[in-house]
Structure 1
Amino acid sequence: MGTVLSISPATKKAMDADDGTKGDKSLKRPSMFVSLSWKKLVASSAKKKVTPNPNPPCALQVAQRNSENLRKTLQSEERKPRAPIPVPVPTVPTQSDNRKQPQAQAVHKQVGSPSAVSPRRIVIQASTGELLRCLGDFVCRRCYKLKELNSGEVILWFRNIDRTLLLQGWQDQGFITPANVVFVYLLCEDTLSESLASPAELQGAFQTCLYLAYSYMGNEISYPLKPFMTEANKDVFWDTSLSVIERLSGKMLQLNADPHFFTEIFQELKSQRDSSEANLDR
């Protein structure tokens, strides 16, 4: 007959426990597999994100690309046509507007006219020798009673004083220049009169004018009296000097400060040249 197996309750519980354990293991295996598969997937995706570029661009390549892009931009800007710079054009009022027309003409005279911007200049030229001859002719014409007087003698008075001052060391350079001759003429034209009776008296008055001219226009601080003073005007030298200063102090200052006044005196002196001697020079 068949064999009858008897199972105790403890054995049965142990068997049930083993079966349960096997069942739990069989149920947990799929979850472990899924967990491992998910970890691999995450790790592989992370590797793809973190993996660097095997051939990264170097700094030189970046600089070359930047310079090339800048060059292309500049070339494109140069090819573009440049807009012309707007220049304001003054508007001229129409003739129908009678109120604005005179005002526009006045502005044109003040701004556009060259004569309004700078005064007209008169250019005059003369050498020192020519002006000295003009001065001598003036003195001879003014003192016409002195028949034996000539312009060369007057010029000699002037040159002798200038040479004496140079030789004695009172001045380093000659005083006779066109501007200084004009200054001497200004003094002589006011001081010398036709009432002078002798050449010596005329020479004394003329050399007094020279002393004032040297003192005012000369390069030195002071000059000696002896070359300028003669026996004929020894007693009246200072009286004549003070009288000339009192009368002509304003004109002497104006001659140096006002170019128009200087030009006027210059032209006046140049017109004193004797016409007959001028023709002989030609």
Structure 2
Amino acid sequence: MMGRNYDEEFRLERAKKMDRARMAKGFSNIELARRAGYDEKTVRKVLAGQATRDKTIVEICQVLGIEPELVNTIEEVDVSDDIYGAYTRSTHRGYEGYFHLFRPSFTTPGAIFRGVVQIRWNGNEDVFQFSEFYSVDDVTGDPKAHSGNVCISSYTNLLHLTTMFEGSVRLLTLTKLREGEGIMRGTMQTQAETLTFFQPTVSPVVLRKIKTYDAASIIGDLGFVEQGSPDWVFADKQISLTENQILKVVSWSSPTAQPARRSTD
């Protein structure tokens, strides 16, 4: 399923302007329909950005006291496919760039691991893509990364960074970025390797936007954070906040479980 086309973008933007004008005049949809000489269903269709006749747009705009926009003057915009959330690049540019990623270590209790995440727009596929750098390749010396596409939902306050490789899935689910704060909080769902097998693993994660960053710094930023350093203090606080306030873990206690018998010895 492809993303919204430019004509639909134009109709949606026009509908927003018309709806703002309706609210400014204090009209309900029913009242606007009555004044324009249409039924309420037609008005709802127009305010939803659906295709309709120019004559209808003109007459409704006359009631609203605004100029009717009949020609698509919107410049072509970068918009992702519907499967990724049909988000536009122009309204999500804050996500482009580099972030430090902090999470508890999977192997060392009390340790905090730091990685680097880069988010960039792929113009060939019309979607934000990410690379999560996590270690250095022993052979080439280059940083190794999990990579995938970014899904941004218009219905929730969440975005998802998904990596899929030969049947394995790795998912970061994060709260959306607040520009002033520059922080996203959420969870990493992955498969941690033990001595004999992989096991499902969930960890709180925190991403912090890096204002200016040189890609040559990636290798030096990968690894455990020194305890007591400014990054460790920040990550310790944010990971605790994420675990306590952001994540929801469902626990289960079977109603059929038998209580342990008390010893009479």
TM range (shorter): under 0.3
Using the size of structure 1 for normalisation, the TM-score is: 0.23
Name the one with the larger helix percent.
1
Structure 2 length normalisation: TM-score?
Answer: 0.25
- Structure number with the bigger relative contact order (C-alpha 8 A, sep ≥ 6) is 1
